[in-house]
């Protein structure tokens, strides 16, 4: 019985088990399982090393373990090395392989090829590193704003893009990678935002997700922008992990419905 799971602390609200198990069922992978793996930081390395012996073929990694996962791995992709974080571990040939599917998953979720487009990324935390790396690799012209400007400067020095303190009022793409919106904060007060009917940002991605649309997603939709919400980004990174482990194309609609709680599966 091949087992996968998600390592986090806390992790009980993760939608990944519902998403992956729905995918296994849809493809007839009846003996595959996906488990929540709540592991505190001090036990992370030990827990990961024990997983292959317990039947695990792979694991997703979420807050706060992504950097530890990149350090622990025996082999890592270029994306992991550049971003400094891994969200997907694969146990193969007695080795731990680290990958970052947040970056390509983000590009998969975009409605257009970012090459030659202008992008404004808000935030300079862990998820911003994957988003900026993906956009820079994809040929976009990337500006990065962060509440703490020195963090944006450091990110751009390491990964690419240009740090700005007064972001432009227009760009082809606006990406919110800050945690603003998670607790119903008003993004128009906390962030230097301009999403209105003038269409300054024709495409808006909000990595934050919850039980309903975030205030930023609602405002961008009302302004007529093309909107990608955090659940779609979650689904796309999950689909890439799913494909690495099973070797099968992920049934995207099934994963999407499960992540959005539209199936009988528990949303985690």
| SS3 at position 211 | coil
CB of 30 to ligand NDP, least distance (A): 27
Query: Hey, is 176 helix, strand or coil?
Result: strand
- The yes or no reply on residue 190 touching ligand NDP (CB under 6 A) is yes
* Residues 6+ away with beta carbon under 8 Å from 10: 38
Tokens of 247: 């070797």
- Structure token pair of residue 136: 């820079």
- What is the chain's percent helix, strand, coil content, to nearest 5? 40, 20, 40
* Rounded Cα gap, residues 235 and 155, in angstroms: 26
State which of positions 56-115 bind ligand NDP (CB under 6 A): 63, 102
Kindly tell me which residue out of 33, 147, 154, 248 binds ligand NDP, with binding defined by CB under 6 A: 147
127 binds ligand NDP (CB under 6 A): yes
User: Least distance to ligand NDP from the beta carbon of 153, Å?
Assistant: 11
Strand 88-92 versus strand 56-61 pairing type: antiparallel
Q: What span, in angstroms and rounded, lies between the C-alpha atoms of 120 and 129?
A: 13
Q: Where in the sequence numbering do the catalytic residues fall?
A: 66
Taking the complex as a whole, the smallest distance from the CB of residue 133 to ligand NDP amounts, in Å, to 13
233 binds ligand NDP (CB under 6 A): yes
Q: Maximum Cα–Cα distance for the chain, whole Å?
A: 57
Binding mask 4-43 for ligand NDP (x = CB under 6 A): ----------------------------------------
Give the residue with the Cβ less far from ligand NDP, 29 or 226.
226
Quote the DSSP letter at residue 162.
E
Q: Is 242 in the site for ligand NDP (CB under 6 A)?
A: no
Q: Which stretch binds ligand NDP (CB under 6 A): 36-44, 133-141, 217-225, 228-236?
A: 228-236
Residues that bind ligand NDP (CB under 6 A): 63, 102, 123-128, 146-148, 151, 177-180, 182, 190, 207-209, 230, 233-234, 237
């Amino acid at each position: 019985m091949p087992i996968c799971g998600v390592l986090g602390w806390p992790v009980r609200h993760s939608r990944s088990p519902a998403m992956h198990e729905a995918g296994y069922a849809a493809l007839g992978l009846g003996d595959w399982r996906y488990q929540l793996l709540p592991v505190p930081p001090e036990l992370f390395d030990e827990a990961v090393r024990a997983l292959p012996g317990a039947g695990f073929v792979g694991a997703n990694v979420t807050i706060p373990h992504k950097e530890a996962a990149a350090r622990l791995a025996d082999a890592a992709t270029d994306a992991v090395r550049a971003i400094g974080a891994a969200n997907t571990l694969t146990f193969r040939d007695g080795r731990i392989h680290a990958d970052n599917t947040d970056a390509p998953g983000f590009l998969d979720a975009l409605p257009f090829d970012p090459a030659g487009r202008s992008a404004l990324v808000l935030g300079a935390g862990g998820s911003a590193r994957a988003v900026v790396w993906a956009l820079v690799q994809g040929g976009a012209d990337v500006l990065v704003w962060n509440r703490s400007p020195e963090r944006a400067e450091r990110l751009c020095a390491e990964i690419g893009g240009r740090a700005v303190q007064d972001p432009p009022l227009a760009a082809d793409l606006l990406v919110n990678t800050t945690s603003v919106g998670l607790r119903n904060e008003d993004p128009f007060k906390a962030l230097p935002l301009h999403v209105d009917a003038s269409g300054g940002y024709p495409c808006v991605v909000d990595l934050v997700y919850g039980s309903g649309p975030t205030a930023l997603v609602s405002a961008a939709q009302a302004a007529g922008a093309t909107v990608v919400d955090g659940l779609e980004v979650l689904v796309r990174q999950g689909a890439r992990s799913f494909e690495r482990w099973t070797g099968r194309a992920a049934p995207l609609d099934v994963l999407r419905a499960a992540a959005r709680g539209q199936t009988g599966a528990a949303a985690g």
